[in-house]
Amino acid sequence: MRVCRRLAIFLLVTMACGYQARGAEGDLKGLRAIQLVAYADRDSQACGIKQEAMRDAFLSRTSSTKLRVSERNTDDPVFFIQVLSIRTNAECASAINMKLTTLQPVKLPFADQARGYAVILWDNDGRILASPEGQHSQSVRQAIGNEVARFMIRWISDNRP
């Protein structure tokens, strides 16, 4: 029963991430550099998912493009890759959330001053993946690569002359 409750909470949180506002076609025009941040929770790491492998999956899809990727703290938009997992018996289930965000100063009509708000330029709508524990890290790496390919198609389309 405890596992079912954790899975239900996990799915609700994951589904809620998909209802955020996301960018429109053309939002990536002029984007030349991003900062990459990868995060895997404890259960993900127990399932063999490593942050380095997540970064490698991203970089392998972007290395032949003109998009510069930094892992240092910069003012560039941030591409987040987040993997949250549940490990049960010999299986793992993971939610893969990816988004490109930037901070934008906005002065709300009722506020005294402008503040920085996150603007989502691209979002993968979240993906849920389940597989045997021994194969899970490779499955997640491949899923990240596929999602990055979708992002790159959008970036290339938006930056076509």
Write down the residue that tokens 């997540």 correspond to: 54
> Is the model's pLDDT at 3 over the cut of 70?
no
H or E element: which one contains 27? Answer: none
Q: What is the pTM for the complete model shown?
A: 0.80
Half-sphere exposure of 27 (CA within 13 A, CB side): 15
- pLDDT band at residue 38 under the 50/70/90 scheme: very high
Residue type, 131: S
> Is the model's pLDDT at 19 over the cut of 70?
no
User: What is the model's pLDDT at position 23?
Assistant: 60
> Is the model's pLDDT at 1 over the cut of 90?
no
- pLDDT band at residue 145 under the 50/70/90 scheme: very high
Domains of the chain and any CATH numbers = 2-158 (3.30.160)
Which 3 state secondary structure label does DSSP give 36? Answer: strand
- Give the tens place of pLDDT for each residue, 108-134: 889 888 888 888 999 998 899 999 999
